[in-house]
Structure 1
């Protein structure tokens, strides 16, 4: 073999050996990345995937309870890996708070539509009562999961703040409507804040009782009774 050819082959072989560790490192990193990290979502997929994970978590809580589900349970229900869940939510608490936020937004939307359609203060108060009872009647899981969140709210500061804010907004809405009713002569002179608190307490109290024992009373009759108690006081 000519000397020049042997020299070139030797140089090429030396370069191959020199680059072998570097090539191996790149291959190892690429392999590690593909195994350990979820693929970045395609444009437009992220909101849909996030919503699917939240929905799966909702059903897991309804089935097993807040304290008993694992991230693996949620991953199995959503049909994704735990890595995908952690891509969208840093931890279990963030995911659970997102579920709570979704529940409250759904209730707010339902409640808002009912109140907006009502014209007078009495109709608006009845709209609040109807909206809450309808939500539970149509989807018992909704109230079951919400009740589970309330049970844990005293142990999780962010959840407690979110729950307190929820009640404050509902009291404010009811108080505003009652004040309007008093000003326009629909309702008697009263303390709107106290009646608003009583209204929320009565509705929620009946909801909780019914969730624990659906045979205790008929939900439709409970709704009618709530209307009679509140409106009977405001319009006496």
Structure 2
């Protein structure tokens, strides 16, 4: 669905892009604090300090805004992790960088993950949940698969099914993330990062 102010072929201005980003950022903060059900357009507008009609100008309703929130959350995380991975040389170092970057990003962006978990639990249909999971997990698995396949090709990693190992690694990262979102005091992120790094270094190496 396209916003009311974005006819086909029309490019947004710099000011419009900046305002959309501001609205998305405030939506993330509001969802993290209040929950998605309480994050009405009026409440989000109040956080931004604008009229609700301004949000309606940029987004064709709450569904479109939440869709952009999801895209922004995933895009920011993926870009951060890729930046760390691209600076590593060997496949082992890239796998280590992927895990460490995942936890480093968590530590710096708790609101992002609190909002994501609340949105995750809000989908009422199986189709919506599958679509969200594909959007969230497919890029992560593909990124990890590329690292793992390259490590097998170079002889750094043993024989295993890269897609299965990728799902296992991402599942371990997200399992810690969920526990941390619900009880930050119970989870030491740096220690968890170190343990998972050591665990998958042993699990994958040739």
* TM-score in terms of structure 1 length: 0.78
- Residue-pair matches, total: 196
Quote the Cα distance in structure 2 between the aligned partners of 1:83 and 1:155: 29
Where does residue 114 of structure 2 map in the other structure?
144
**Residue 110 of structure 1: which of 73, 80, 93 is its match?**
80
Quote the Cα distance in structure 1 between the aligned partners of 2:163 and 2:13: 47
Distance 1:214 1:125, change over 3 A: same
Between 74-83 and 161-170, the greater mean CA deviation after superposition: 161-170
Q: Where do 5+ consecutive residues of structure 2 fail to align? A: 6-11
Distance 1:154 1:175, change over 3 A: farther
Where does residue 201 of structure 1 map in the other structure?
171
Q: Is the 8 A contact 1:179 1:192 kept in 2?
A: yes
Distance 1:46 1:222, change over 3 A: same
**3-state SS of 1:166 partner:** helix
Where does residue 172 of structure 1 map in the other structure?
142
Q: Where do 5+ consecutive residues of structure 1 fail to align? A: 1-37
Q: Is the 8 A contact 2:120 2:132 kept in 1?
A: no
* TM-score in terms of structure 2 length: 0.88
RMSD between aligned alpha carbons? 2.0
Where does residue 105 of structure 2 map in the other structure?
135
